[in-house]
Chain A
């Protein structure tokens, strides 16, 4: 009874915080989905692309605020600069670390993108230093609080922005992939690259595009979370790992599964923290292992039949 009361008391806050953090994991995980569905490869530096996005936001904010520009201007400047640089980085990673290693049965791209992750972390450390740096939120620091008897929770305006921003970004990407001509071309490449090529689709360009989209998503995630996570060279490590767990749990080929898995995992984490906070991160990776063993295609994905 005691435990139940604690749970009920803590639940509204756990759901609020869980949705915010879960939406981040889902946003990064969509990046894994985009490249995996087109090329059967992943960029394991995804979390560190988020870090670069966050640190670029720190630099842009810092630089512009010093000249006396208002925060909103800094936000829009960051919104313009970060996708540009991240798109460039995505192209580069595909060209240098993935394409040369994508032969039949080759798993070299796993190690090479992990290598990119380590390089980025070290570069971040050298350029920005490892200590955590504050980045102000455009929306201020005054929490929004809901207080109705047992139903109480607080949420920072920036966290509402994170939730809304990542849901918006995911929607835009999914609509693009499902509805636009380019998106359909990417799907065609995913299904059968040689047939797509025969149909006049530029396969290479589609692969590069997939990497650009996933990198930009990570960069935008960095911009969204940096006021809450603070800017430092290791800020992307845990979110990147958890997003990977989300992608596996939701199913690497299932964007809606990823979204649901992300939000659920966020909530589960915070509910676990109500009882034992030190188990919080462990639960995520325990779930990852269970899903890998039980449903390797993800919680929501039905094994597709292949006719032989």
Chain B
């Protein structure tokens, strides 16, 4: 008689482990890749104040009956329309996530584009020709984004493209639009490398390194990550925050923002007491928060996305940690108050380019959203997309429907006035982002709405 160890199960177990890993890989990767896509709100510059003075008080109460330009301080895309003999519609493509993990961002984008398009076409379009902006859903999947853009370029023969929401999708399709020499304005995605490349033409994750220059055909009206870091640190400085803890998720987005912060912190003279990280999908961050609490951290500056941001708020409440939360625009995702509740979100500070109370033009635009859609799901995404479309149509009114001339007209835009905080000269030969740290501002959650922080 021989005794044999019963090992029959081992190989099955190993194989099973393999299989499970396989099962997890493909779909699990999808939620991680949608890097934060920030909306670019334009700064409402000072020049509006004189004209806006009479309208300033009752802004939110106004029903904003007409999109007509000229009401004190407000803007409309009708301003760029010209009359003429008409002709075939001018085609522009738009790509973004109308479904998927970042559906809120894409839906906001689509609505902002639609409002501008309608105002422009109703007022006559370009010399009587309408612009036809087709918005396609990429479901947060890079391969679908590429298919959409291929369709725009080859089948629809668009003169320009607006989009997308997700940085990964942008990086997937931009080589095609660059090759086709079609201008793109990115309204939501925030990653530096979407717009900037290094000396060898490779996407550059760090802004401001020597040799880094913009892609020739790509512009953005969104809040570039490095400037968001600048804005929130500027706010911390102005408030005299003296016991700061940094947190970031472990995605490329979170770590890049953390690196930017690390570069800016020594010069700003900040007192950083502790650093902590968390993974995408984490729901309980009590271990990390307890360390920050023990270190005496009173203000947390965080670089993450909506779902994890809301779990941070819940975890802090669990361990009775009353701390000032702040961070990049992940905190402005409407998911945060939905998942964590309005109460926990109250007072959280984030970075914005748009809040309805930020200027008369912004208030008016918010009313247009409510009028047309009965809701303003993710205000900053709609505003940045509205401004992206405005920039494109303003340039079109000068250049005519030719991609190369349109690109130059976008780069040389002057006298721009939008609903976000974008400056009047949004771009230049070396600068393809409209919003800088000084244009963006801190916004704070008050009873479920984002308002400009004082």
Contacts and interface: CB of A to CB of B under 8 A. Distances in A.
Interface of A: 6, 9-10, 13-14, 17, 20-21, 40, 42, 44, 107, 110-111, 114, 117-118, 121-122, 129-134, 141, 143, 145, 147, 152-156, 228-230, 234, 237-238, 240-241, 244, 248, 252-253, 270-271, 273-274, 276-278, 280-281, 288, 292, 296-297, 303-308
A278 B24 CA distance: 19
Contact of A296 (B13, B104, B283): B13
A143 B344 CA distance: 13
B9 A237 contact: no
A200 B397 CA distance: 85
Nearest to B247: A277
Given A44-B16, A114-B19, A297-B6, 15 more contacts: A6-B291, A20-B284, A110-B15, A130-B99, A131-B100, A141-B317, A143-B317, A145-B320, A244-B17, A248-B17, A274-B290, A288-B17, A303-B6, A305-B5, A307-B3
9 contacts: A9-B294, A13-B287, A13-B319, A44-B20, A44-B23, A110-B19, A230-B307, A270-B286, A277-B285
A40 B8 CA distance: 10
Contacts of B23: 44, 114, 117-118
Contacts of A6: 291, 294
Interface string B98-109: 011101100000
Contacts of A117: 23
| Interface size range of chain B in the complex | 35 or more
B338 A134 contact: yes
Contact of A111 (B19, B103, B284): B19
Q: In terms of DSSP, what is the predominant structure of the interface of chain B?
A: helix
A234 B16 contact: no
Contacts of A155: 318
A35 B290 CA distance: 40
Contacts of B286: 13-14, 17, 153-154, 270
Interface in B267-308: 276-279, 281-288, 290-291, 294, 307
B28 A296 contact: no
B31 interface: yes
Nearest to A293: B14
Given A129-B99, A131-B103, A143-B318, A17 B6 contact: no
| 6 A-B pairs closest in CB distance | A296-B10, A273-B287, A154-B318, A114-B23, A303-B5, A154-B319
B441 to A, nearest CB: 27
Contacts of B7: 296-297, 303
A307 B291 CA distance: 55
B279 A13 contact: no
B341 interface: yes
Nearest to A251: B9
A237 B319 contact: no
A8 B20 CA distance: 35
A297 B285 CA distance: 33
Interface of B: 1-7, 9-10, 12-17, 19-24, 26-28, 30-31, 99-101, 103-104, 140, 250, 276-279, 281-288, 290-291, 294, 307, 314, 317-320, 335, 338-339, 341
A162 B232 CA distance: 38
B258 to A, nearest CB: 12
Contact of A118 (B26, B250, B314, B341): B26
Contacts of A307: 1, 3
B290 A237 contact: no
B14 A292 contact: yes
A306 B6 contact: yes
Contacts of B17: 244, 248, 288, 292
Given A130-B101, A306-B6, A10 B291 contact: yes
B20 A114 contact: yes
A240 B24 CA distance: 9
Contact of A131 (B9, B21, B104, B318): B104
Contacts of B99: 129-130
Contacts of B283: 228-230
B318 A278 contact: no
A17 B284 CA distance: 8
Contacts of A308: 1-4
A277 B20 CA distance: 24
Contacts of B6: 297, 303-306
B19 A277 contact: no
Given A134-B339, A141-B341, A153-B319, A9 B290 contact: yes
Contacts of A42: 16
B250 A252 contact: no
B378 to A, nearest CB: 12
Given A44-B19, A252-B13, A277-B278, A154 B320 contact: yes
Contacts of B285: 273, 277
Nearest to A241: B24
Contacts of A129: 99, 103
A21 B6 CA distance: 32
A133 B5 CA distance: 49
A242 B101 CA distance: 23
Contacts of B294: 6, 9
B24 to A, nearest CB: 5
Contact of B287 (A17, A229, A241): A17
Contacts of B24: 237-238, 240-241
